[in-house]
Copies of this chain bind each other. A is one copy, B any other.
Amino acid sequence: MTKIPVTVLGATGVVGQRIVRRIVGHPSFRLAGVAASARSVGKRYADTIHWAEEELPAEVRDLAVLPCTPEGAWAPIVLSALDAETAREVEPAFARAGCLVITNASAHRLDEDVPLIIPEINPGHLGLLDVQRERRGWEGGIVANPNCATAVLALAIAPLVPFGIRRIAVTTLQAASGAGHPGVASLDLLGNVIPWIEGEEDKLREEPRKIFGQMGSSGLISASFLVSPQVTRVPVPHGHMACITVELEKALEAREALEAYDGWAPAVTLVAGQARPQPRLDVERGGGMTVTVGQLREDGVFGLRLVARGHTLEGGAAGAAVANAELAARLPPDRLAGYFTGRLERWPSG
Protein backbone atom coordinates (compact mmCIF):
# COMPACT_ATOMS: atom_id res chain seq x y z
CA MET A 1 0.00 0.00 0.00
CA THR A 2 1.17 3.50 -0.71
CA LYS A 3 1.78 5.75 2.22
CA ILE A 4 0.02 9.09 2.51
CA PRO A 5 2.38 12.06 2.03
CA VAL A 6 2.53 14.37 5.02
CA THR A 7 4.28 17.69 5.55
CA VAL A 8 5.10 19.17 8.95
CA LEU A 9 4.75 22.92 9.62
CA GLY A 10 6.87 24.39 12.41
CA ALA A 11 9.17 21.40 12.16
CA THR A 12 12.11 22.98 13.95
CA GLY A 13 10.55 23.39 17.40
CA VAL A 14 10.36 20.82 20.18
CA VAL A 15 6.90 19.58 19.14
CA GLY A 16 7.64 19.74 15.42
CA GLN A 17 10.73 17.57 15.83
CA ARG A 18 8.75 14.96 17.71
CA ILE A 19 6.06 14.90 15.01
CA VAL A 20 8.77 14.36 12.40
CA ARG A 21 10.16 11.45 14.42
CA ARG A 22 6.70 9.88 14.62
CA ILE A 23 6.12 10.22 10.86
CA VAL A 24 9.46 8.67 9.97
CA GLY A 25 8.71 4.97 9.91
CA HIS A 26 4.97 5.39 10.39
CA PRO A 27 3.10 2.50 8.79
CA SER A 28 0.77 4.74 6.76
CA PHE A 29 2.36 8.15 6.42
CA ARG A 30 5.53 9.25 4.73
CA LEU A 31 7.31 12.54 5.35
CA ALA A 32 6.97 14.67 2.23
CA GLY A 33 8.65 17.74 3.66
CA VAL A 34 9.45 19.89 6.65
CA ALA A 35 8.45 23.54 6.73
CA ALA A 36 9.37 26.38 9.02
CA SER A 37 9.63 30.14 9.24
CA ALA A 38 11.28 32.31 6.61
CA ARG A 39 14.68 32.39 8.29
CA SER A 40 14.99 28.60 7.98
CA VAL A 41 13.64 28.16 4.47
CA GLY A 42 16.09 26.56 2.07
CA LYS A 43 18.48 25.52 4.81
CA ARG A 44 19.36 21.94 5.66
CA TYR A 45 16.82 20.80 8.25
CA ALA A 46 19.48 19.61 10.71
CA ASP A 47 21.14 23.02 10.59
CA THR A 48 17.94 24.80 11.62
CA ILE A 49 17.51 22.88 14.87
CA HIS A 50 18.72 25.09 17.68
CA TRP A 51 17.78 22.74 20.47
CA ALA A 52 17.04 19.06 20.48
CA GLU A 53 16.79 16.38 23.11
CA GLU A 54 17.42 13.61 20.59
CA GLU A 55 19.27 13.46 17.34
CA LEU A 56 17.19 13.75 14.21
CA PRO A 57 16.64 10.53 12.28
CA ALA A 58 19.32 10.22 9.60
CA GLU A 59 16.82 10.26 6.74
CA VAL A 60 15.55 13.75 7.52
CA ARG A 61 18.71 15.64 8.37
CA ASP A 62 19.48 16.71 4.84
CA LEU A 63 15.99 17.81 3.85
CA ALA A 64 15.77 21.39 2.62
CA VAL A 65 13.33 23.32 4.79
CA LEU A 66 10.20 24.40 2.92
CA PRO A 67 8.22 27.60 3.40
CA CYS A 68 4.95 27.44 5.34
CA THR A 69 2.83 28.11 2.27
CA PRO A 70 0.49 25.83 0.36
CA GLU A 71 2.61 26.37 -2.73
CA GLY A 72 5.72 25.30 -0.91
CA ALA A 73 4.55 22.58 1.45
CA TRP A 74 1.34 21.14 0.07
CA ALA A 75 0.39 17.61 1.05
CA PRO A 76 -2.96 15.91 1.53
CA ILE A 77 -2.27 15.87 5.27
CA VAL A 78 -0.38 18.72 6.90
CA LEU A 79 0.68 18.44 10.54
CA SER A 80 1.11 21.79 12.23
CA ALA A 81 3.24 22.60 15.27
CA LEU A 82 3.15 26.32 14.57
CA ASP A 83 2.78 28.89 17.30
CA ALA A 84 -0.75 30.20 17.71
CA GLU A 85 -0.20 33.54 16.05
CA THR A 86 1.39 32.11 12.92
CA ALA A 87 -1.15 29.29 12.79
CA ARG A 88 -3.99 31.79 12.68
CA GLU A 89 -2.82 32.98 9.26
CA VAL A 90 -1.12 29.96 7.81
CA GLU A 91 -3.42 27.06 8.60
CA PRO A 92 -6.52 28.44 6.83
CA ALA A 93 -4.42 28.97 3.72
CA PHE A 94 -3.53 25.29 3.67
CA ALA A 95 -7.14 24.27 4.33
CA ARG A 96 -8.30 26.50 1.52
CA ALA A 97 -5.78 24.79 -0.75
CA GLY A 98 -7.34 21.44 0.01
CA CYS A 99 -5.07 20.18 2.75
CA LEU A 100 -6.35 18.45 5.84
CA VAL A 101 -4.52 20.42 8.53
CA ILE A 102 -4.00 18.52 11.78
CA THR A 103 -2.87 21.13 14.25
CA ASN A 104 -1.40 21.28 17.71
CA ALA A 105 -1.78 25.08 17.72
CA SER A 106 -4.40 26.75 19.89
CA ALA A 107 -5.42 29.25 17.20
CA HIS A 108 -8.56 27.50 15.96
CA ARG A 109 -9.30 25.04 18.76
CA LEU A 110 -12.37 26.84 20.00
CA ASP A 111 -13.77 27.82 16.59
CA GLU A 112 -17.21 26.29 16.64
CA ASP A 113 -16.74 24.44 13.35
CA VAL A 114 -13.27 23.06 14.11
CA PRO A 115 -13.21 19.57 15.60
CA LEU A 116 -11.13 19.42 18.80
CA ILE A 117 -10.39 15.75 19.07
CA ILE A 118 -8.87 13.08 21.27
CA PRO A 119 -9.56 9.95 19.23
CA GLU A 120 -10.39 7.75 22.21
CA ILE A 121 -13.00 10.26 23.37
CA ASN A 122 -14.77 12.07 20.58
CA PRO A 123 -13.87 10.69 17.15
CA GLY A 124 -17.39 11.45 15.99
CA HIS A 125 -16.67 15.17 16.21
CA LEU A 126 -14.80 14.74 12.93
CA GLY A 127 -18.23 15.30 11.43
CA LEU A 128 -17.74 19.01 12.14
CA LEU A 129 -15.42 19.02 9.14
CA ASP A 130 -18.50 18.95 6.90
CA VAL A 131 -19.91 22.03 8.62
CA GLN A 132 -16.50 23.69 8.44
CA ARG A 133 -16.05 23.04 4.74
CA GLU A 134 -19.50 24.20 3.87
CA ARG A 135 -19.35 27.33 5.96
CA ARG A 136 -15.85 28.34 4.91
CA GLY A 137 -15.90 27.04 1.36
CA TRP A 138 -12.75 25.04 1.96
CA GLU A 139 -11.80 21.87 0.19
CA GLY A 140 -9.55 20.86 3.04
CA GLY A 141 -10.06 21.55 6.71
CA ILE A 142 -8.60 21.97 10.17
CA VAL A 143 -8.66 19.42 12.99
CA ALA A 144 -7.15 20.34 16.34
CA ASN A 145 -5.88 18.45 19.35
CA PRO A 146 -6.18 20.02 22.78
CA ASN A 147 -3.67 21.80 24.98
CA CYS A 148 -1.25 19.49 26.77
CA ALA A 149 -2.84 19.96 30.20
CA THR A 150 -6.33 19.55 28.77
CA ALA A 151 -5.29 16.23 27.26
CA VAL A 152 -4.34 14.87 30.68
CA LEU A 153 -7.53 16.12 32.30
CA ALA A 154 -9.83 14.96 29.50
CA LEU A 155 -8.50 11.44 29.29
CA ALA A 156 -8.54 11.08 33.07
CA ILE A 157 -12.18 12.13 33.41
CA ALA A 158 -13.38 10.37 30.27
CA PRO A 159 -14.67 7.28 32.08
CA LEU A 160 -16.56 9.53 34.51
CA VAL A 161 -18.48 11.55 31.96
CA PRO A 162 -21.41 9.12 31.65
CA PHE A 163 -22.06 9.52 35.37
CA GLY A 164 -22.97 13.15 35.31
CA ILE A 165 -19.98 15.39 35.92
CA ARG A 166 -21.21 18.71 37.28
CA ARG A 167 -18.13 20.60 38.33
CA ILE A 168 -14.39 20.04 38.30
CA ALA A 169 -11.68 21.77 40.33
CA VAL A 170 -8.28 21.00 38.90
CA THR A 171 -4.81 22.05 39.97
CA THR A 172 -2.12 21.30 37.45
CA LEU A 173 1.60 20.82 38.12
CA GLN A 174 3.04 21.36 34.68
CA ALA A 175 6.50 20.52 33.42
CA ALA A 176 9.03 22.87 31.86
CA SER A 177 8.76 21.33 28.41
CA GLY A 178 5.18 22.52 28.04
CA ALA A 179 6.58 25.98 27.36
CA GLY A 180 8.92 24.75 24.63
CA HIS A 181 12.53 25.85 24.46
CA PRO A 182 13.86 28.18 25.82
CA GLY A 183 10.51 28.54 27.61
CA VAL A 184 10.77 29.08 31.35
CA ALA A 185 14.01 30.48 32.77
CA SER A 186 15.87 28.15 35.11
CA LEU A 187 16.27 31.04 37.51
CA ASP A 188 12.48 31.05 37.85
CA LEU A 189 11.97 27.34 38.21
CA LEU A 190 14.85 25.86 40.22
CA GLY A 191 13.54 25.00 43.69
CA ASN A 192 10.40 26.94 42.94
CA VAL A 193 6.78 26.79 41.79
CA ILE A 194 5.16 29.39 39.53
CA PRO A 195 1.38 29.59 39.88
CA TRP A 196 0.75 31.16 36.50
CA ILE A 197 0.93 30.18 32.83
CA GLU A 198 -0.31 32.70 30.29
CA GLY A 199 -3.64 31.69 28.76
CA GLU A 200 -3.55 28.17 30.18
CA GLU A 201 -6.50 28.39 32.54
CA ASP A 202 -8.84 29.60 29.81
CA LYS A 203 -7.91 26.53 27.80
CA LEU A 204 -8.67 24.25 30.73
CA ARG A 205 -12.02 25.94 31.22
CA GLU A 206 -13.21 25.64 27.62
CA GLU A 207 -11.45 22.80 25.84
CA PRO A 208 -12.73 19.89 27.96
CA ARG A 209 -16.32 21.12 27.62
CA LYS A 210 -15.94 21.14 23.84
CA ILE A 211 -14.26 17.73 23.71
CA PHE A 212 -17.08 16.17 25.69
CA GLY A 213 -19.73 18.08 23.76
CA GLN A 214 -22.49 16.44 21.72
CA MET A 215 -22.91 16.71 17.99
CA GLY A 216 -26.34 18.10 17.27
CA SER A 217 -28.16 18.94 14.06
CA SER A 218 -26.90 22.52 14.19
CA GLY A 219 -23.38 21.83 15.35
CA LEU A 220 -21.63 20.99 18.57
CA ILE A 221 -23.18 21.62 21.96
CA SER A 222 -20.58 21.87 24.72
CA ALA A 223 -20.81 19.65 27.75
CA SER A 224 -22.55 21.34 30.63
CA PHE A 225 -19.98 20.71 33.33
CA LEU A 226 -17.80 23.57 34.54
CA VAL A 227 -14.07 23.57 35.23
CA SER A 228 -12.28 25.68 37.85
CA PRO A 229 -8.55 25.48 37.10
CA GLN A 230 -5.42 26.61 38.88
CA VAL A 231 -2.28 26.00 36.90
CA THR A 232 1.26 25.87 38.26
CA ARG A 233 4.66 25.26 36.71
CA VAL A 234 6.93 22.93 38.69
CA PRO A 235 10.62 22.06 38.32
CA VAL A 236 10.07 18.88 36.30
CA PRO A 237 11.45 18.45 32.77
CA HIS A 238 8.61 16.42 31.22
CA GLY A 239 5.24 15.23 32.51
CA HIS A 240 2.19 17.24 33.45
CA MET A 241 0.28 16.26 36.56
CA ALA A 242 -3.35 17.19 37.28
CA CYS A 243 -4.89 16.94 40.75
CA ILE A 244 -8.60 16.64 40.06
CA THR A 245 -11.73 17.02 42.17
CA VAL A 246 -14.93 15.93 40.42
CA GLU A 247 -18.47 16.60 41.55
CA LEU A 248 -20.81 14.03 39.99
CA GLU A 249 -24.43 12.98 39.90
CA LYS A 250 -23.81 9.28 40.32
CA ALA A 251 -20.72 8.92 42.45
CA LEU A 252 -21.26 5.27 43.24
CA GLU A 253 -21.56 4.17 39.63
CA ALA A 254 -18.64 6.40 38.69
CA ARG A 255 -16.52 4.70 41.26
CA GLU A 256 -17.39 1.35 39.78
CA ALA A 257 -16.40 2.65 36.36
CA LEU A 258 -13.14 3.84 37.84
CA GLU A 259 -12.40 0.41 39.17
CA ALA A 260 -12.84 -0.90 35.62
CA TYR A 261 -10.63 1.90 34.34
CA ASP A 262 -8.06 -0.48 32.94
CA GLY A 263 -10.38 -1.03 30.05
CA TRP A 264 -9.14 2.25 28.67
CA ALA A 265 -5.54 1.15 28.46
CA PRO A 266 -3.28 2.06 26.84
CA ALA A 267 -4.74 5.55 26.67
CA VAL A 268 -5.53 5.71 30.38
CA THR A 269 -4.10 3.34 32.95
CA LEU A 270 -4.50 3.07 36.67
CA VAL A 271 -0.99 2.95 38.07
CA ALA A 272 -0.24 0.80 41.09
CA GLY A 273 1.58 2.17 44.09
CA GLN A 274 0.65 4.36 47.03
CA ALA A 275 2.71 7.31 45.80
CA ARG A 276 1.90 7.21 42.11
CA PRO A 277 1.65 8.54 39.46
CA GLN A 278 5.00 10.36 39.32
CA PRO A 279 6.27 12.30 36.34
CA ARG A 280 9.82 11.02 36.43
CA LEU A 281 8.86 7.37 36.64
CA ASP A 282 5.73 7.29 34.49
CA VAL A 283 6.34 9.83 31.76
CA GLU A 284 7.45 7.48 29.00
CA ARG A 285 4.64 4.94 29.46
CA GLY A 286 3.12 3.79 26.22
CA GLY A 287 5.65 5.80 24.24
CA GLY A 288 4.45 8.90 26.04
CA MET A 289 0.84 8.28 24.99
CA THR A 290 -0.51 6.78 28.21
CA VAL A 291 -2.14 8.89 30.91
CA THR A 292 -1.54 7.27 34.29
CA VAL A 293 -4.04 7.78 37.10
CA GLY A 294 -3.71 7.22 40.81
CA GLN A 295 -4.86 8.50 44.22
CA LEU A 296 -8.44 7.56 43.31
CA ARG A 297 -10.96 7.87 46.07
CA GLU A 298 -14.34 9.24 47.06
CA ASP A 299 -13.55 12.30 49.13
CA GLY A 300 -16.85 12.57 50.97
CA VAL A 301 -16.92 16.26 50.11
CA PHE A 302 -17.33 16.87 46.39
CA GLY A 303 -17.33 13.37 44.98
CA LEU A 304 -14.15 11.91 43.55
CA ARG A 305 -10.49 12.80 43.85
CA LEU A 306 -7.81 11.56 41.46
CA VAL A 307 -4.36 12.47 40.20
CA ALA A 308 -3.52 12.08 36.51
CA ARG A 309 -0.24 12.42 34.69
CA GLY A 310 0.56 12.58 30.98
CA HIS A 311 3.48 13.35 28.69
CA THR A 312 3.76 17.03 27.95
CA LEU A 313 5.06 16.69 24.41
CA GLU A 314 3.73 13.31 23.26
CA GLY A 315 0.20 12.52 24.42
CA GLY A 316 0.00 16.25 25.04
CA ALA A 317 1.17 17.45 21.63
CA ALA A 318 3.12 15.53 18.97
CA GLY A 319 1.63 12.10 19.54
CA ALA A 320 -1.83 13.61 19.91
CA ALA A 321 -1.54 15.32 16.55
CA VAL A 322 -0.37 12.16 14.79
CA ALA A 323 -3.21 10.19 16.37
CA ASN A 324 -5.65 12.75 14.99
CA ALA A 325 -4.04 12.44 11.59
CA GLU A 326 -4.62 8.70 11.74
CA LEU A 327 -8.22 9.22 12.68
CA ALA A 328 -8.84 11.90 10.09
CA ALA A 329 -7.21 9.80 7.39
CA ARG A 330 -9.80 7.17 8.29
CA LEU A 331 -7.07 4.60 8.40
CA PRO A 332 -8.14 1.01 8.88
CA PRO A 333 -7.10 -0.41 12.26
CA ASP A 334 -4.11 -2.26 10.87
CA ARG A 335 -2.60 0.95 9.55
CA LEU A 336 -2.60 2.76 12.87
CA ALA A 337 0.58 3.25 14.85
CA GLY A 338 -1.30 2.15 17.91
CA TYR A 339 -2.08 5.41 19.66
CA PHE A 340 -5.74 4.56 19.82
CA THR A 341 -6.85 1.06 19.40
CA GLY A 342 -10.23 0.35 17.96
CA ARG A 343 -12.16 0.93 21.13
CA LEU A 344 -13.98 3.84 19.59
CA GLU A 345 -17.26 1.99 19.42
CA ARG A 346 -17.26 1.56 23.20
CA TRP A 347 -17.25 5.22 23.87
CA PRO A 348 -20.67 6.72 24.66
CA SER A 349 -20.16 10.11 23.08
CA GLY A 350 -18.14 8.94 20.09
Contacts and interface: CB of A to CB of B under 8 A. Distances in A.
Interface of A: 51, 53-54, 167-169, 171, 173, 176-177, 179, 181-196, 226-228, 230, 232, 234-237, 241, 243, 245, 274-281, 294-295, 299-302, 305, 307
A193 B278 contact: yes
Given A183-B185, A185-B183, A305-B228, A237 B190 contact: yes
A339 to B, nearest CB: 22
Given A169-B302, A301-B226, A294 B183 contact: no
A305 to B, nearest CB: 6
Copies of this protein, total: 4
A30 to B, nearest CB: 27
Given A232-B241, A301-B228, A189 B190 contact: yes
21 contacts: A168-B301, A169-B245, A169-B302, A171-B243, A173-B234, A176-B190, A181-B187, A182-B182, A183-B186, A184-B187, A188-B278, A191-B237, A192-B281, A193-B234, A195-B241, A195-B278, A227-B301, A230-B305, A232-B307, A234-B234, A235-B236
Q: Name, among A190, A236, A241, the residue most crowded by chain B CB atoms within 10 Å (CB to CB).
A: A190
A191 B301 contact: no
Contact of A245 (B182, B187, B228, B274): B228
B187 A237 contact: yes
Contacts of A241: 193, 195, 232
B193 A183 contact: no
Q: Identify which of A182, A195, A230, A276 gathers the most chain B CB atoms within 10 Å of its CB.
A: A195
Given A228-B301, A230-B305, A307-B230, A236 B187 contact: no
Given A186-B235, A190-B280, A196-B274, 8 more contacts: A171-B230, A176-B185, A176-B186, A189-B190, A192-B236, A230-B295, A232-B243, A235-B235
